[in-house]
């Protein structure tokens, strides 16, 4: 009895020590995460001259005047956040819809039907997953040049139909959650194959679709490599391509404008994240590879 009690109390003491360490490290990481954003936001409200005095000063005497000045500074040149938002929004939304729908369809085909070469097809998907994006780049760019399709937004929308990574995830999810009996009974009731997919399988896959949609949307929104090569007209540039301008010579030393430009590109992401974060952080479990 007494032995047991001692054991328990020592575990308890151990716990408090460990907890203190956990909190200290977590808080340090939280500060590390927030620090750059805090600097960015405060400096958006300060003039370049004030920033040159010190980056760390908190509040300026005329925050909104400075904000307006910085805003004029960035929009007078080539940086047009609204155009970028529009293009990014079109690309990300349409490509995410295509990506998720067709990936679920493919995943369903792989896991629900027996067909020749099914395993080979599945292995091919895993294989293509490993191909680095660069390998596709040169071939893709060449084809685009050949067909004369530069500066077309659909270049980044249509290829989303085939995204092996999402198919892999969806298949993993389907294998765990789809029972063939439901499909069979629907067939007996006379439902067509597409109707089965749209009305039974898609609702079943909602959690996986949601997580993949979020990941796909973020990846598409943040994509820089290909748009940088293929979108050269200002009217067609997406947000990441616009952001690159902030690094160029035209904004040299206009620190207030640079910080504000960065801040503007982050705002929609932060707003969306504020609503969806809980869902993302916990929802990943649902779409994840179950072991």
Partner 1 sequence: MTFTLYPILYTFFIGFTDLAGAGNMSPHLLTTDKGGNKPLFDNFVAVLTNANFQKAFKNTVTIWTLNFIPQMAFALLFTAWFTDRRSKVKGQGLFKILFYMPNIITAATLAILFNVLFGYPKGAVNDILLGLAKTFGVKKDLLASDPNAWKLAISYDFNNNGTALKLIVAFVQFYQWYGYTMVNLIAGVIGISPEIFEAAEIDGANRVQTFFKVTLPCIRQILLFVLVTSLIGGLNMFDVPQLYAGEKKANGAVMTLNMFVRSQGLDNRYLYNKAAAASVVMFIVIVILSSILFYILRDKDEAKLKKLRKQELKALKKGM
**Residue 160: Cβ within 10 Å count:** 23
- Chain positions 162 to 181 lying near partner 1, rule: CB under 8 A, are 162-164
288 binds partner 1 (CB under 8 A): yes
CB 201 within 8 A of CB 179: no
Q: Give the one residue of 8, 10, 13, 19 binding partner 1; rule: CB under 8 A.
A: 19
Q: Where in 45-84 is the site for partner 1 (CB under 8 A)?
A: 51-52, 54-56
Degrees, nearest 5: CA angle 110-115-116: 120
Residue with tokens 């997953």: 129
> What is the spatial distance between Cα 81 and Cα 238, in angstroms, rounded to a whole number?
9
Shorter beta-carbon distance to partner 1: residue 52 or 72:
52
Tell me which stretch binds partner 1 (CB under 8 A): 62-70, 109-117, 154-162, 198-206.
154-162
Q: How far apart are CA 202 and CA 104, in angstroms?
A: 8
Determine if 146 is a binding residue for partner 1 (CB under 8 A). Answer: yes
Question: Does residue 94 touch partner 1 according to CB under 8 A?
Answer: no
Task: Tell me the number of residues near partner 1 by CB under 8 A.
Answer: 75
Q: Confirm or reject binding of residue 289 to partner 1 (CB under 8 A).
A: yes
Q: How many CB atoms lie within 10 A of CB 70?
A: 26
SS3 65: helix
> What residues numbered 258-277 form the site for partner 1, per CB under 8 A?
258-259, 262, 265-266, 269, 273, 277
CB of 2 to partner 1, least distance (A): 18
Integer Cα distance of 200 and 283 in angstroms = 21
In the complex, the smallest distance separating the C-beta of residue 240 from partner 1, rounded to whole angstroms, is: 4
Least distance CB 177 / partner 1 (angstroms)? 13
**Taking phi first (over 0 means left), then psi (-120 to 50 degrees means alpha), and beta for anything else, what does residue 192 get?**
beta
Q: Does 145 bind partner 1 (CB under 8 A)?
A: yes
User: In angstroms, what CA-CA distances link 130 with 93, 139, 140?
Assistant: 25, 17, 17
Interface with partner 1 includes 240 (CB under 8 A)? yes
- Shortest spacing between CB 176 and partner 1, in angstroms: 10
């Amino acid at each position: 009895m007494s032995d047991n009690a001692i054991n328990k109390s020592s575990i308890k003491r151990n716990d408090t020590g460990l907890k203190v360490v956990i909190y200290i490290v977590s808080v340090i990481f939280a500060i590390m995460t927030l620090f750059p954003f805090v600097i960015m936001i405060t400096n958006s409200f300060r003039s370049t001259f004030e920033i040159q005095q010190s980056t760390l000063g908190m509040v300026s005497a005329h925050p909104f005047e400075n904000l307006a000045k910085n805003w004029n500074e960035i929009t007078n040149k080539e940086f047009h956040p609204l155009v970028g938002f529009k293009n990014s929004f079109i690309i990300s939304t349409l490509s995410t819809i295509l990506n998720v729908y067709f990936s679920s369809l493919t995943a369903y085909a792989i896991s629900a039907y027996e067909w020749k070469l099914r395993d080979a097809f599945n292995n091919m998907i895993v294989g293509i997953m490993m191909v680095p994006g660069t390998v596709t780049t040169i071939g893709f760019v060449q084809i685009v040049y050949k067909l004369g399709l530069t500066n077309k937004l659909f270049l980044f929308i249509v290829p989303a139909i085939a995204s092996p990574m999402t198919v892999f995830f969806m298949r993993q999810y389907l294998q765990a959650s789809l029972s063939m009996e439901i499909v069979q009974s629907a067939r007996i009731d006379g439902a067509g194959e597409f109707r089965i997919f749209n009305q039974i399988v898609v609702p079943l896959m909602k959690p996986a679709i949601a997580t993949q949609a979020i990941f796909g949307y973020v990846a598409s929104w943040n994509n820089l490599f290909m748009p940088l090569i293929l979108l050269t007209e200002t009217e067609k540039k997406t947000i990441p391509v616009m952001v690159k301008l902030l690094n160029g010579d035209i904004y040299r030393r206009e620190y207030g404008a640079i910080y504000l430009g960065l801040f503007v590109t982050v705002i929609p992401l932060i707003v969306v994240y504020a609503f969806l974060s809980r869902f993302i952080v916990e929802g990943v479990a649902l779409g994840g590879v179950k072991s």
